[in-house]
A = this chain, B = another copy of it.
Amino acid sequence: MGDRRIPEATVARLPEYLTALVELAASGVATVASEGLAQAMGVTSSQVRKDLSFLGTYGTRGVGYAVEELLHHISGLLGLNREWSAVLVGVGNLGRALASYGGLAQRGFRLAALVDADPAKAGTRVSGVEVEALEELPRIVARERATIAIVTVPAEAAQDVADRLVDAGITSVLNFAPVHLSVPPHVRVRKVDLATELLILAYYENARSRGEPHDAPAGVAEHARPVAGSDAS
């Protein structure tokens, strides 16, 4: 079950499958039916069967999916069996927040380097990592063998930073700047918009204030997760 093409929407759900499976494994559950996974994830069981069939996993009739085996498989696909070195550019509030966010290290992401254009920040330390100058980027990326970068600079600086990252050899960019980045075909950009989540909550608040029915049971905590779509610009 190796070189199949897995649809983008299924890939985007893999982190959530991982979370559900980690919790099942921790609870000592050995096998899980598609219905059980579906409930944990808030999707339909036919979606679960479809997703997992893309991974080449079909479960056993009347038994379900082997939790540890599936967990191992998805961990492998997500590269959790190795450490990823990421370079973060833009040591402002958001950059600092990400640098101190424990969740990254838990998933095998090491913020190998923090980079900022402000000379006054170079040499200072954030969460134990020294901030380095933007001009050093090519050397830093090579030194850390980094392929992933996180961009937390202001919108007007983001394209210049993206160009520098691409020149330095970065092939995956997580962009928090509220701007569309142009990159060559071999580079993958994901854009995170912190306001999107609030808009979705506003939809439900709005429906509530109009007294309209709203889908999905209230009180069920939702797990926001990303699904890739092409940037509209």
**Residues in A lying within 8 Å of B, measured CB to CB:** 2-3, 5-8, 11-16, 18-20, 23, 39-43, 77-80, 82, 84, 86, 92-94, 96-98, 100-104, 106-109, 147-148, 150, 171-172, 174, 178, 180-208, 210, 212-233
Contact = CB atoms under 8 A, between A and B. Distances in A.
B222 A230 contact: yes
A227 B230 contact: no
Task: Sort A-B residue pairs by CB-CB distance and give the 9 closest, nearest first.
Answer: A185-B219, A42-B229, A42-B230, A79-B206, A93-B97, A94-B97, A224-B226, A221-B231, A222-B228
A229 to B, nearest CB: 3
A220 B190 CA distance: 9
B78 A16 contact: no
A193 B224 contact: yes
Given A93-B97, A183-B221, A218-B185, A148 B201 contact: yes
A97 B153 CA distance: 11
Contact of A205 (B84, B194, B213): B84
A178 to B, nearest CB: 5
Oligomeric state, in copies: 2
Given A11-B200, A147-B205, A184 B225 contact: no
B5 A214 contact: yes
Contacts of A228: 42, 200, 216, 222-224
Residue of A7, A16, A182, A229 with most partner-chain B CB within 10 A: A229
